């Protein structure tokens, strides 16, 4: 899909609550044909190559509600360079233009990042207990994978977006962390 005059960026994970770039407008948006999932091993921001964490990616199927950011023409080059540096460290994503529906019903192309299923950091088919383990162990330059997941779920709730799969992983991870802390406190 080619882009039009306006530059929109679609955020579905940490870009929703920590975009890190200037924008002129933000609104809710829906991307059809993809869903948000903990499916990418993090070797930098939420883990290391030796002890990876796990972060979000878009996977085919379903739909994804997130936030769309409209970028001003004067900021386009800076924002695109920033996104390239932030998201493409290990080329685990396919940056692409996909059609989104803005909350006012308008449809437009938006720049976003789809997880590459052929990449060695892609772990989309891992069972829930493995994703929980990766959430609990991951800690990198940006903090813990648990904090990342908690921030994402909190932001989704604030936007009245329900993501039952992420909420379940977060709840299980928090329970296991509390049980471990209780065990070591004895």
pLDDT for position 3: 44
Q: Bridge-partner residues for 144, per DSSP? A: 139
Angle separating helix axes 145-158 and 164-185, nearest 10 degrees = 130
Helix (DSSP H) and strand (DSSP E) numbers for the chain: 5, 7
The pair phi, psi for residue 153, each rounded to 5°, is -65, -40
pTM of the full predicted structure? 0.91
pLDDT, tens digit, 9 for 90 and up, residues 94-149: 999 999 999 999 999 999 999 999 999 999 999 999 999 999 999 999 999 999 99
pLDDT for position 2: 46
Residue ranges of domains in the chain, CATH in brackets: 7-178 (3.10.490.10)
Nearest-CA neighbor of 6 among 100, 66, 73?
Answer: 73
pLDDT band at residue 4, thresholds of 50, 70 and 90? low
pLDDT, tens digit, 9 for 90 and up, residues 12-56: 999 998 999 999 999 999 999 999 999 999 999 999 999 999 999
Task: Say if CB 9 and CB 71 are below 8 A apart.
Answer: yes
């Amino acid at each position: 899909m080619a882009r039009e005059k306006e530059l929109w960026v679609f955020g579905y994970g940490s870009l929703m609550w920590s975009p890190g770039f200037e924008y002129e407008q933000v609104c809710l948006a829906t991307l059809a044909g993809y869903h948000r999932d903990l499916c990418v091993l993090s070797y930098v921001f939420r883990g290391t190559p030796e002890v990876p964490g796990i972060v979000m990616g878009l996977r085919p199927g379903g739909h994804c509600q997130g936030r769309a950011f409209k970028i001003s023409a004067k900021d386009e080059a800076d924002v695109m360079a920033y996104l390239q540096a932030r998201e493409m460290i290990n080329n685990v994503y396919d940056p692409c233009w996909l059609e989104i529906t803005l909350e006012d019903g308008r449809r437009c192309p938006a720049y976003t990042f789809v997880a590459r299923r052929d990449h060695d950091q892609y772990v989309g088919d891992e069972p829930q207990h493995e994703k929980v383990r990766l959430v609990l162990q991951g800690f990198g330059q940006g903090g813990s994978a648990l904090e990342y997941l908690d921030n994402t779920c909190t932001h989704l709730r604030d936007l009245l977006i329900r993501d039952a799969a992420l909420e379940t992983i977060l709840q299980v991870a928090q329970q296991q962390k509390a049980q471990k802390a209780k065990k070591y406190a004895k």
